[in-house]
Structure 1
Amino acid sequence: MVKELKRRWQLGRVRSGDGSALGDYRLWQVFSRSLFFLDLAEPSGSNHTYAVDVRYLVDAKTKKQHESASGKSPAALYRDGVQLYRANLPATFPVPGGVIEVATSAFGLKRMHFVSADGGERTLRPHRRSQEGLRARFGQRFPRTSAVVGVVAVAILLVVLSVALLKGIEGVTRIPVVAEHLGTFTSPIRLPGWANITMVVAGVLSAVERALRLRYHWLLDSVAS
């Protein structure tokens, strides 16, 4: 019920596109743009290619200025290269047979899925030169190495989460009222400054790696932010 209400709210925020053409993906946009594609058949039987273009440098806080002056939004939906809709993130775009859901985290995309009317989901395919496309090609070429990288990323985030939880508990028990009733807790993990910095950097890189594969867990991937 909550998911359905959220979807309806996001659909209500979608604006009509300006009919502009989808721009080519450039090498220098690798860190500022994501581009995904989906092939769908219309009820009439004709096939169309839909594209979702995400621009990370378009600030949603200035959405009114962007949308009224230049028609730019953080996310836009194209059909056969022509802009149909645009919206701020998170966004849900209507397409034949379902919707496309788009959402980001602090480290990149966390959702780029086509959700059919019957509830089935599938991930859109990334542009081959985008960050996500390069990561997907690496996984296809070196599947075992890719799997190891994924496991290491999860392990690092679990370590970061564990250390953060211990520090959090220690901080809470130092509150006088809590300490009076429950006593104090001292984290058994004490890291030097360089180790803390290394752990933070490793956590961020791990979260980015997972975002490139559209892997996201609300607790695991948010701990590095």
Structure 2
Amino acid sequence: MGLRPFTPGYLQEVVLIARITKAKQLTDRDKAILTDLARCRVLSFGQVKNAYWPAAKERTCDDRLKQLQKAGYIAEHMANAEKPGTFMKVYSLDTKGKRWVTGPQGPGLDRSIVFTHPGKADEIVHQVRTNEVYFGLSDDEKETWRIGDALEIEHDVFSGNTGLVVPDASYVSEEGEEIFVETDCGKYTPAQIREKVDGFAGKNVVWVCPAGREQTLAKYGAAGEFVTYRIASGMN
């Protein structure tokens, strides 16, 4: 069989084929990202980059995520950020990614609590902020992380068990204690805060909120650990 003659564009074709092939071969980092997405449902570009490419240029992270997207493992979305008129790039699992994380070749997670949609448009930022707590946990604690939608399924909330006040997320600490995580992006009314506080009675709670908002939460009964953040012009 003769060699294919070199023509303009041939090298680009070879590089494209190499990239597609490479995307189909999951690296340990790819697998960790898919597992994080399975547990957290939706992550921002900034969260993924900070966790897996902290010292690299944004393009390095973006290129790999695009390869995973083209291969069908993840999906990219543009969502409204907290500051009006700003947006952020976020990711969720796609069909192939869910198949991997719930299958024998992956961590084998429960299919019923692994989602392939980032959630309602007005709840994405809320979930992304909640998931910031996840990245501060130990590996063992991360394995126990459940977002609110997963907790509702596990506790049969949709089957009539409506007496339970479900937090935005929960995890089991290294000491074996269930910790609730609740995020207020500055929109909870005093009545809503009190309802959360009463519903979380007896639980240790991590409250996530904009800097300065913790004073309002505490005023209406919130207690525990407060994780604060500052609202920038946009979130990656």
**TM band (smaller chain):** under 0.3
Question: Which structure: greater strand fraction?
Answer: 1
Could you state the TM-score of these two structures normalised by the residue count of structure 2?
Answer: 0.24
Query: What TM-score do the two structures reach when normalised by structure 1?
Result: 0.24
